[in-house]
Amino acid sequence: MARQIEIVERDSIPAVQKKAEISMFKLPKFIGGTYKAIFTELEKVRLKPADAPFVRYHGLNWQGLRNENKILMFIKEMFRKWNLTAGVPVDAELQEFGEFEVAATPAGKFIQTTHEGSYMKVSKTYCEMLDWADSNNVKCKNESMEIYLNDPREVKQKDLRTIVLIPVAE
Protein backbone atom coordinates (compact mmCIF):
# COMPACT_ATOMS: atom_id res chain seq x y z
CA MET A 1 0.00 0.00 0.00
CA ALA A 2 1.34 3.44 -0.95
CA ARG A 3 2.04 5.92 1.80
CA GLN A 4 -0.41 8.86 1.86
CA ILE A 5 1.51 12.11 1.48
CA GLU A 6 -0.33 15.41 1.38
CA ILE A 7 -0.07 19.12 2.07
CA VAL A 8 -1.82 20.23 5.25
CA GLU A 9 -2.31 23.56 6.98
CA ARG A 10 -1.46 23.55 10.68
CA ASP A 11 -2.14 26.13 13.34
CA SER A 12 0.37 27.10 15.98
CA ILE A 13 -0.06 25.49 19.43
CA PRO A 14 1.51 26.83 22.67
CA ALA A 15 4.35 24.55 23.78
CA VAL A 16 7.13 24.13 26.29
CA GLN A 17 10.39 22.99 24.81
CA LYS A 18 14.14 22.64 25.11
CA LYS A 19 16.76 23.19 22.40
CA ALA A 20 20.01 21.33 21.91
CA GLU A 21 22.81 20.72 19.47
CA ILE A 22 23.93 17.14 20.04
CA SER A 23 25.19 13.99 18.36
CA MET A 24 22.88 11.23 17.24
CA PHE A 25 24.24 9.02 20.04
CA LYS A 26 22.82 11.45 22.62
CA LEU A 27 19.45 12.04 20.91
CA PRO A 28 17.43 9.33 22.70
CA LYS A 29 18.64 10.35 26.15
CA PHE A 30 18.07 14.07 25.50
CA ILE A 31 14.62 13.59 23.96
CA GLY A 32 13.42 11.06 26.56
CA GLY A 33 14.81 13.11 29.45
CA THR A 34 13.24 16.30 28.13
CA TYR A 35 9.82 14.70 27.76
CA LYS A 36 10.03 13.14 31.22
CA ALA A 37 10.98 16.48 32.81
CA ILE A 38 8.23 18.36 30.95
CA PHE A 39 5.53 15.82 31.85
CA THR A 40 6.67 15.88 35.50
CA GLU A 41 6.41 19.68 35.61
CA LEU A 42 3.03 19.61 33.85
CA GLU A 43 1.69 17.26 36.53
CA LYS A 44 2.98 19.51 39.31
CA VAL A 45 1.09 22.52 37.95
CA ARG A 46 -1.92 20.42 36.89
CA LEU A 47 -1.65 21.11 33.17
CA LYS A 48 -2.34 18.59 30.43
CA PRO A 49 -0.52 18.19 27.13
CA ALA A 50 -2.54 19.62 24.22
CA ASP A 51 -1.07 17.15 21.75
CA ALA A 52 1.62 14.49 21.39
CA PRO A 53 5.29 15.34 22.03
CA PHE A 54 7.38 16.55 19.11
CA VAL A 55 10.91 17.12 17.91
CA ARG A 56 11.82 19.81 15.39
CA TYR A 57 15.04 19.36 13.42
CA HIS A 58 16.65 22.56 12.12
CA GLY A 59 19.19 23.15 9.34
CA LEU A 60 18.64 19.90 7.44
CA ASN A 61 20.38 19.17 4.13
CA TRP A 62 17.72 17.50 1.98
CA GLN A 63 20.00 17.27 -1.08
CA GLY A 64 22.67 15.52 0.97
CA LEU A 65 20.12 13.04 2.31
CA ARG A 66 19.08 12.11 -1.20
CA ASN A 67 22.34 12.31 -3.14
CA GLU A 68 25.03 10.95 -0.81
CA ASN A 69 26.28 7.42 -0.95
CA LYS A 70 24.10 5.67 1.67
CA ILE A 71 27.05 4.39 3.74
CA LEU A 72 28.81 7.76 3.66
CA MET A 73 25.56 9.54 4.52
CA PHE A 74 24.95 7.17 7.46
CA ILE A 75 28.45 7.82 8.84
CA LYS A 76 28.06 11.61 8.45
CA GLU A 77 24.63 11.60 10.12
CA MET A 78 25.90 9.51 13.03
CA PHE A 79 28.66 11.96 13.88
CA ARG A 80 27.17 15.34 13.01
CA LYS A 81 25.69 17.68 15.60
CA TRP A 82 21.89 17.77 15.30
CA ASN A 83 20.24 21.12 15.95
CA LEU A 84 16.85 20.27 17.43
CA THR A 85 14.03 21.30 19.70
CA ALA A 86 12.09 18.74 21.79
CA GLY A 87 8.81 19.80 23.33
CA VAL A 88 5.23 19.21 24.32
CA PRO A 89 2.21 21.30 23.25
CA VAL A 90 0.19 22.63 26.20
CA ASP A 91 -3.37 23.83 26.78
CA ALA A 92 -2.37 27.18 28.27
CA GLU A 93 -0.64 30.43 27.39
CA LEU A 94 2.36 30.42 29.74
CA GLN A 95 4.82 33.19 30.54
CA GLU A 96 7.47 30.85 31.93
CA PHE A 97 7.88 27.18 32.68
CA GLY A 98 10.90 26.34 34.80
CA GLU A 99 14.02 25.51 32.81
CA PHE A 100 12.04 25.23 29.57
CA GLU A 101 11.42 27.74 26.82
CA VAL A 102 7.79 28.80 26.35
CA ALA A 103 7.07 28.97 22.62
CA ALA A 104 4.68 27.53 20.07
CA THR A 105 4.73 24.94 17.33
CA PRO A 106 5.09 26.45 13.87
CA ALA A 107 2.01 27.29 11.81
CA GLY A 108 1.70 27.07 8.05
CA LYS A 109 1.68 24.58 5.21
CA PHE A 110 3.46 21.27 5.59
CA ILE A 111 4.02 18.13 3.63
CA GLN A 112 2.69 15.42 5.95
CA THR A 113 2.70 11.67 6.18
CA THR A 114 2.74 9.01 8.88
CA HIS A 115 5.83 6.87 9.41
CA GLU A 116 5.17 3.44 10.88
CA GLY A 117 7.95 1.47 12.51
CA SER A 118 11.41 2.08 13.89
CA TYR A 119 12.70 5.63 14.22
CA MET A 120 15.94 4.37 12.66
CA LYS A 121 14.09 3.85 9.35
CA VAL A 122 12.44 7.27 9.13
CA SER A 123 14.97 8.47 6.52
CA LYS A 124 13.18 6.30 3.93
CA THR A 125 9.95 8.15 4.73
CA TYR A 126 11.73 11.48 4.30
CA CYS A 127 13.06 10.38 0.89
CA GLU A 128 9.53 9.43 -0.20
CA MET A 129 8.26 12.83 0.96
CA LEU A 130 11.02 14.66 -0.90
CA ASP A 131 10.31 12.66 -4.09
CA TRP A 132 6.64 13.58 -3.70
CA ALA A 133 7.59 17.25 -3.26
CA ASP A 134 9.68 17.15 -6.45
CA SER A 135 6.85 15.48 -8.39
CA ASN A 136 4.40 18.13 -7.18
CA ASN A 137 6.73 21.15 -7.58
CA VAL A 138 6.70 21.84 -3.84
CA LYS A 139 9.73 23.57 -2.32
CA CYS A 140 10.70 22.47 1.20
CA LYS A 141 12.28 24.40 4.04
CA ASN A 142 15.42 22.85 5.56
CA GLU A 143 13.71 21.63 8.70
CA SER A 144 11.20 19.04 9.81
CA MET A 145 8.98 18.12 12.72
CA GLU A 146 8.13 14.68 14.05
CA ILE A 147 5.11 14.12 16.30
CA TYR A 148 5.29 10.88 18.29
CA LEU A 149 1.85 9.27 18.54
CA ASN A 150 2.88 6.46 20.87
CA ASP A 151 5.61 5.61 23.35
CA PRO A 152 8.51 3.30 22.42
CA ARG A 153 8.52 2.05 26.02
CA GLU A 154 4.94 0.82 25.60
CA VAL A 155 4.74 -0.56 22.04
CA LYS A 156 6.96 -2.68 19.81
CA GLN A 157 9.16 -0.82 17.31
CA LYS A 158 7.09 -2.10 14.41
CA ASP A 159 4.01 -0.46 15.97
CA LEU A 160 5.51 3.02 16.47
CA ARG A 161 3.58 5.77 14.66
CA THR A 162 5.11 9.14 13.90
CA ILE A 163 3.59 12.07 12.01
CA VAL A 164 6.35 13.53 9.85
CA LEU A 165 6.06 17.13 8.68
CA ILE A 166 8.25 19.16 6.34
CA PRO A 167 7.37 22.86 6.16
CA VAL A 168 6.61 24.18 2.69
CA ALA A 169 8.63 27.18 1.50
CA GLU A 170 6.27 29.80 0.09
pLDDT at 64: 66
pLDDT at 131: 92
The total number of structural domains that make up the chain: 1
Contact 142, 60 (CB under 8 A): yes
Q: What pLDDT sits at residue 49?
A: 94
Residue 133, domain member (yes or no): yes
Least confident of 63-72, 90-99, 108-117, 156-165: 63-72
Closest alpha carbon to 53 in 12, 3, 93, 105? 105
| Number of other CB atoms surrounding residue 147 within 10 Å | 18
The percent of residues above 90 in pLDDT, for the chain, comes to 64
Residue 117: inside a domain: yes
Q: What is the pTM of this model?
A: 0.90
User: Using 50, 70 and 90 to split pLDDT, how confident is the model at 77?
Assistant: low
Query: For residue 127, is it within any domain?
Result: yes
Sheet-wide strand order for 14-23: 6-10, 108-116, 161-167, 143-148, 54-58, 81-89, 14-23, 101-104
Answer whether residue 140 is part of any domain: yes
In a domain, residue 149? The reply is yes
Give domain status of residue 1, yes or no. no
Q: 6-10 and 108-116 as β-strands: parallel, antiparallel, unpaired? A: antiparallel
- Average pLDDT of the segment spanning 32-55: 94
What is the C-alpha to C-alpha distance for residues 162 and 159, in angstroms, rounded to an integer?
10
Print the domain residue range for 127: 6-167
CATH of the domain at 128: 3.20.80.10
Q: What is the per-residue pLDDT across 82-138, written as a single tens digit (0 to 9) for each?
A: 899 999 999 888 888 889 999 999 999 999 999 999 988 888 899 899 999 999 999
β-bridge mates for residue 165, sequence order: 112, 145
Does the residue 70 lie in any domain? yes
Does a structural domain hold residue 158?
yes
